[in-house]
Structure 1
């Protein structure tokens, strides 16, 4: 037995080493590693905890199994049993041998971030309650510990640094966003499948930013459709949501990912603003006058609306009451248009006003 600072070296049966839940799913070229070990020997021992759980060396262990090795010398670390230490040890092993894929890195980042935040909060609580000041063995927060209000940002930056070597966590957060949708049982199954497809594209070298934008667009579109179909919503809100969803759908093949995401976000924001106004303002009477801006938004939403519906489907599904409401709205709209046309014809100065002045 060899003892060195922080670990001891023991001979152990390879079958007694337990592999827990690890982030790496693709070990890469094990044949080449096995050939190297067979030729040069195991240059760096595998590390396990006292109970035989693997910490570092999953690829080396796989190569040794392939070579038919039955026993080997391992490093046993006694101070690496907590979750954070194991994650960091695994990352150190990965960094030395094979780069993590984007999705593997995002999974590791998410767990390290969570554990760092929990650890920082635990140390802060310990420093505030029941920790004797000046105790050198105190479990309290370090003097440079982040304040409670910035723990999340601190955890993100530190986790990114530990996993990738840089403090930039945007890409990891975006992948984590997609992973969260896939794992969320409450999400629509079609959206979960779409998020899974986007993750596959990322694994194949696709753009993380583009995948994130496409997913955000689809989620906004789904929310618009939900608003439009919600009978509990006021008719105006349902109409605005339906029109917004139609515009997004019509633009799918003509707009870039960035433009489409912006269009979907604006449509959803407009619908939600209408909902907020409905909930916070007194109910208007049927004769209340709305501003011209509202008129412009309404007709922007209605632009070529008839191109987005199937005549036969509507006829077959509308109730008599809904059809009568449509007829009444159409008749009122025609009468309103004729009155406006008459006023414009009688007032040349009005007809010459620039279009943008109507929205003021």
Structure 2
């Protein structure tokens, strides 16, 4: 057994090393690494904790197993038992060898961020309640703790810096959203499957921004369809949700992903606004007039609606009562349109009387 600053080197059975929870899922080309180790030897020992949990060297360990090695010299690091230290040591090992994939990096980032936030919270509370006076700087806290509201931003920026070398965390957060959707068993299976597909595309080199945008669109459409099918929702809300979902589906083949996301978000916002409007109107007269904005939203949703339906299918499935409602709505719409057209024509053709001539 030998000793160097910060670690002890000793011989250990390869089968006694516990892998534990690792954030790397793709170990890369192990054959090439095994060939290099067989030719040149193990240039850098594997690092473990005192209880035998692997800290650094997952790829080297896999290569040694492939070569049939039974025993090896390892470094046993002291002071590496806490979870955050292990994560950072693992990432340091990744940086020196094969970089993490975007999805693996996002997983590591999320855990590091949580631990950093917890650590910052703990240090802030220690400073606030006088722990620093009882045991000077025992917790490593700053003399003046950061405001609580800044802890999340601090944790995100620091976690991103530690995992990727950059403070930008937007990409990692977006991947994290997809990972959470894919793992959330309370969500619809269609949504979870879509999130899994998008994560696979990212893992294969696809755009994170595009994947996040497509997922946001799918999430909005799913919510619209849920509201449309919910019998406990008022009829007006169900109708607004149904029309909004149909409009997005109709635009799928002819609209860019960016525009499609905008349409889906706007449709969902209108449906939720309709929910509030419906509740507000329930306590007032049924003849309460809606604002022009509501009228514009309605006709935006109905734009080229006739292209979305099959004449023969509807004709064969509509009941007499439903057809009477269609006829009534059409008659009222035509009468409204004629009156509106007349008022607009009058406003253009009739000259305005000036203030001077009216005196």
> What is the TM-score with the length of structure 1 in the denominator?
0.89
* Residues 236 and 278 in structure 2, CA contact (< 8 A), matched pair in contact too: no
1:350 equivalent among 347, 350, 353: 347
Partner of 1:283: 283
Alignment CA distance shift 1:102-1:143 (3 Å): same
More moved, 312-321 vs 109-118 = 312-321
Partner of 1:58: 58
1:5 CA displacement: 2.1
Alignment CA distance shift 1:300-1:35 (3 Å): closer
1:209 CA displacement: 0.5
* Residues 18 and 52 in structure 1, CA contact (< 8 A), matched pair in contact too: yes
Q: Counterparts of 1:1-20 in structure 2 under 5 Å? A: 1-20=1-20
* Residues 7 and 77 in structure 1, CA contact (< 8 A), matched pair in contact too: yes
SS of residue in 2 equivalent to 1:3: strand
Partner of 2:70: 70
Partner Cα distance (2:349, 2:259) in 1? 32
Partner Cα distance (1:292, 1:97) in 2? 62
Matched, 1:116 2:113: no
Matched, 1:94 2:91: no
SS of residue in 2 equivalent to 1:74: strand
SS of residue in 2 equivalent to 1:186: coil
Partner Cα distance (1:318, 1:118) in 2? 59
Partner Cα distance (2:171, 2:28) in 1? 23
Aligned residues: 350
SS of residue in 1 equivalent to 2:93: helix
* Residues 132 and 139 in structure 2, CA contact (< 8 A), matched pair in contact too: no
Partner Cα distance (1:30, 1:128) in 2? 50
Alignment CA distance shift 1:13-1:144 (3 Å): farther
Gaps of 5+ in 1: 354-360
Partner Cα distance (2:311, 2:108) in 1? 52
* Residues 13 and 70 in structure 1, CA contact (< 8 A), matched pair in contact too: yes
* Residues 174 and 212 in structure 1, CA contact (< 8 A), matched pair in contact too: yes
Partner Cα distance (1:125, 1:313) in 2? 66
Partner of 1:329: 329
Q: CA RMSD in A?
A: 2.4
Gaps of 5+ in 2: 351-359
* Residues 45 and 74 in structure 2, CA contact (< 8 A), matched pair in contact too: yes
